[in-house]
Amino acid sequence: MKLFDVYSLYEIEPVRGEGSYVFTADGTRYLDLYGGHAVISIGHAHPHYVQAISEQVAKLGFYSNSVQNSLQGRLAELLGKLSGYANYQLFLCNSGAEANENAMKLASFTTGRKRILAFNHAFHGRTSGAVAATDNPSIISPFNATENVVFTPLNDLEAAEQHLSTGEFAAVIIEGIQGVAGIRVPDDEFVRKLSDVAKKHGTLVIADEIQSGYGRTGKFFAHQHARLVPDIITCAKGIANGFPMGAVLISPEIEAKKGMLGTTFGGNHLACAAAIAVLEVMQEENLIENAAMTGDYLLSELKKMDQLKDVRGRGLMIGFDVEGSGSDMRRKLLFEKQIFTGGAGVSTVRLLPALGLTKEQADTFLNSLNQLI
């Protein structure tokens, strides 16, 4: 049997990691500014994280959600405290796509409506409902296509209100920052007014914080820059530093009913141990503050490089465009400078490093990039 050929692979295999670095079998060290696609939040092989999941798997790795699991309660308490949403309810699942699926389903259950408003260039996942709300026809199969999702331009309040005023929409779903679209930051004023319009028309607001949450932008969630208070928030990526996990944070105004949502693996013992360890490290090492500080430094220095176009982002979620091919630039950074970065579209380079990235590591990247542009 061979693997289903769906990924374009670099000719590199990391075999171990440490902090913001990964290493190949021959010992070559690479600075990781991609974080496995914004997943590595506290760094590779963090000692506290390794200890937490090692101790947990030695005790109990899994049991179903048919019994009590006190780790879920500990996670909910700590997440509520650090995020500012202590009065919200928590549903645990396995991925970002699953989190968004459950968020949209929950909005539909709550409002009795079936339509979702999403934004041009949005990416919400690859499962059935999540991909239907993703603005990329190339990954939407005929089975997934639906008239229940409508797309509208980001930052165009008038266009959004035209749709919402029909009273047909269960929810509007918006990314804290559009990641796959190339780090597109919604205007804070637009986000605030969108929430007002949605509330006026009985539509719930879902904040997709799968890539932009968990401290990445210098606040726990990116929507907090705009002082938005969503009805539902979705998380994944950095929530467990690489262990598969997703979460839905749900307003206390939304009623939970038995059987409304469910999962086999979601919130299992190992996942919760990993997620608790992540939050403990974030708090102990002030990683959100570091993301803000190091991110501001990176953004300011990148904006000084005249050869770059449209530098944008918040905290350690940064995108910029280069002349020519972004893919070529990423390959040069990888193979000539031993630096992992991400991409989007034709010319964009994305930076999604661990939140503990240091100024010295940022300078290593800046100096390398300056030599290549």
Active site residues: 123, 208, 237
Residue type at 238? G
Residue type at 67? V
CA atoms of 367 and 11, how far apart (whole Å): 24
Measured CA distances, 339 to 113, 137, 241, 290, 348 (Å): 47, 32, 20, 20, 16
Q: Which residue has the tokens 């005790």?
A: 59
Measured CA distances, 118 to 59, 86, 131, 178, 209 (Å): 43, 27, 11, 12, 14
CA atoms of 149 and 116, how far apart (whole Å): 5
Q: Which bin fits 314, alpha (ψ -120 to 50), beta or left (φ > 0)?
A: beta
The widest CA-to-CA distance across the chain, in whole angstroms, is 61
Instruction: Provide CB contacts within 8 A for 205, sequence distance 6+.
Output: 171, 172, 174, 194, 195, 198, 199, 228, 230, 231, 232
Catalogue the E-assigned strands of 224-306.
Answer: 232-235, 246-250
CA atoms of 329 and 209, how far apart (whole Å): 28
Residue type at 140? I
